[in-house]
Every structure is written in C-alpha cells, then in structure tokens.
Amino acid sequence: MGLIDQNALSMENGLLDPSHHQIAIVLSPAEAAEAGQPLSGGAGMPAVVTMLEADAPLGHGLLESAAILCLEVRSGSPRSIERVARVRADHPRLPVIALVRDADLVLVRALLRQGVHDVVQLPLAMGQLTESIGEILAELKSSAPARVRNGQFISVVKSIGGVGATNVAVNLASALAQQPDSRACLFDLDVQFGNAATYLGAPAQPSLTDLLDGGARVDGDFLNTITSTLSTGLKFVPAPQEIGPLESIDDQQLQRILQTARGEFDYVVADMPANWSNWTLSAVARSDLIILVVNLTIASLRQGKRQLQLLLSQGIERNRIVVLANRVEQRLFKPIDLDDAGKALGFPITLSVHNDYALMSTANNQGVIAGELNRKAKVSRDFVRIAETIPTLLPRKD
C-alpha cells in the first residue's frame, strides 16, 4: 500500500477534504510502476493505493472504507470485468472509476452500463483522475438526501385468474398514495399479462424492462425517471410490453429494483402474476404484507386454500398474510358468507370489497380508479378504508 502524493490530488475548491473522503485506488504492480505521479510518500490526501492484479479479489475492508473506488480493469480478462460487476452488485452506492489500458468502445459501454461513473485511460494520468474524482465529489456534495424512507412492500396475490386482483392493486395503491404524507408506487409484475396500465390510463413505456436492463445503474434517480406519475399522486411502473418467458426475469436485479423503491416510497405495491416461479416466490417471501384476493366462489376458495398452503410452506409467517374477499354481494341470502369462506380457507377473511360491476367496468374502460368516478360509492370507500387500515395490518418490527 501507499499514499498518493498530496499535490497530485489537491483541488482549489476543497472538495477533497481529507477528513471526509478516502479514495481507494487499486492497480496492478505493473501499472502502479508506470503511473505518472508518485504513489507513495508525502503527508498525503487519504487516497490509499492497493497493489493487486487486475483479476484478484478485493478485500471487504478496502471496499467498506472507500468513499470512491478507482479500480483497474483489464480488457480481455473476463475475471477482471466480473470483479467490477461484483463490486457494483455488492456496493451499489459506491462510486467507481474504471482504470483501463487501451479501452475500446464496447468495453467502455459495458462498464458504463454496469454503473461505473467514469473510465480513465492507463497509464494513470493524475490530472484526468483528479478531474473525474472532483466531478463525483461535486455530485455527492450537491445531492443532499431528502427524507430517508423504509417503505413497506405489499404483494397482491390472486387465488385464481379473474378475481379482480389487478383492480384491487390499482385502487389500493392509489388510495395509499392519497394518504397524508404518503408516497406510493405500484409495480405491475404480471410480466406476461399485466393490464394495470390500461386500468390506470397510464403510458406503457418506460416499463419494468428498462429497470431490469438497467443493471447497477438502478438507483432512486433512475427509478424516478422510469415511473409515471398519475393524477392521484401514485407512481407507476408498467409490465413489459413484450411477452417473454416467466423464468427470464433476473431475480437479483428485481430485488435491487424493489429495494431501491423501498428507499423512495412509503408503500411499494406489486401486482403479482397468477403463476409461480422462483423469482415470484422470492419477491413474495420478502413482502412485509401479502394480500391474497379471493372471490366467494368454490373455485376461488379451493385454489385460495392451496395458495395459502404454498405460502406457509415457504416459511412465511401467518401474520404477514391477509385475505381480501373481492366483489362481495350485499344480498340478504348469499350462497357463501365471509365466515363460511374463512372456514373453507382455514384462514380468516380480514378485508372485503363490495361488488360494483358497473362502476368498476366503467372505470377500467376510462382508465381511472373507481374513486375518480364516484368517491362516495361503497367500493370506492372500501379501498380508502383498507388503505387506512394497512398500517395496523403490517407486522410490527422490533
């Protein structure tokens, strides 16, 4: 290890304050020897040089102590390029400058797509590196974070297709967005047959595809450029436009997206697909609250019971699951009432929404939520009531 010469990284505006920043520079011994400035000695800025081969693993302590990482990347070495990808995946908020000899356009684009802030040519020219570091520090200084959020992730799961789960997700998320001091975002994760954009009258692009392709670039700013803002204040990410295999979704990238959303919103609501896969189970298992939507029909209740058994078999606690009965009739004599339905499920029905086919159908066709057409209707008031109840349904975090 050594220290970068103090004068090599000095800046007139004082952005490189040694009391606040440690710059980690990782170079192979050969590149360190060719650097245009001394790599050791001097009273020094806190810019620590570590000499490692371009494909050698990076120590945990080095990454944890760095405010900015300047990392050598060797063109033509898959292990060296994978090392950058691992850093970006494990430390998405750590700014990275790639130090590359003879970088071609393909490699530069690949690195920038991974979320690297800049690419600096080797042999190392301290002037160019100083300029790049200064730009990053200026960005860090100007981006004073607003309120730090720890959003609640709510998955809306259907017992079978056709129970109105998308309408529940759309109207509930909108009602949550209209709560005082509340920010909510709806993700349509029904990647093959998602229709939430139609129900909301929202643009179909940009979509979830842009976030899935965004790699390590996905952060709060990137997410906010993808979401559309609706009249209710709800932020929305539509399903992909093109139908693809359910298994094609990158679970790790989806978790990055959802975790980023938690940091931006008070509530993150996901409309889940009807079919299960590894990534859907993984997403639901990470939910703070799972809303299982059923109808009061034999088919829905039978499949709903199977869904509950699956969720519980995955180690999901019962207090993270609530059952919502949708399209509940007001008739005096009903074939199945809520108590009977709960017994059939082996699980209590906590929430219910009145049936108002005419209003919901009109709202869907016009691309608005029910409350925008008739906020006094029972179905509209149901969603407001449920939104107000959500904080009491969320399991307490000790």
Ordered by where they begin, the domains of the chain are: 2-142 (3.40.50.2300), 152-393 (3.40.50.300)
Q: Which residues pair with 27 in a beta bridge?
A: 51
Per-residue pLDDT of the chain (398 residues; tens, 9 = 90+): 444 444 444 444 334 443 445 788 999 999 888 875 554 333 334 678 889 999 999 887 788 778 899 999 998 899 999 999 888 877 887 899 999 998 888 888 888 877 888 899 898 877 778 888 888 877 766 665 555 568 999 999 999 999 999 999 999 999 999 999 999 999 999 999 999 999 999 999 999 999 999 888 888 989 999 999 999 999 999 999 999 999 999 999 999 999 999 999 999 999 999 999 999 999 999 999 999 999 999 999 999 999 999 999 999 999 999 999 999 997 766 667 899 999 999 999 999 999 999 999 999 999 999 999 999 999 999 999 999 999 999 987 65
pLDDT, one tens digit per residue, over 78-116 is 999 999 988 887 788 789 999 999 888 888 888 887 788
Query: What pLDDT is recorded for position 23?
Result: 86
- Cβ–Cβ under 8 Å, residues 46 and 18: yes
Contacts of 237 (CB under 8 A, 6+ apart): 185, 186, 187, 188, 207, 208, 211, 226, 227
Q: How far apart are CA 14 and CA 358, in angstroms?
A: 65
Q: How far apart are CA 369 and CA 296, in angstroms?
A: 23
0.85 cut: is pTM over it?
A: no
Q: How far apart are CA 351 and CA 389, in angstroms?
A: 9
pLDDT, one tens digit per residue, over 276-328 is 999 999 999 999 999 999 999 999 999 999 999 999 999 999 999 999 999 99
Q: How far is CA 198 from the centre of its chain?
A: 22
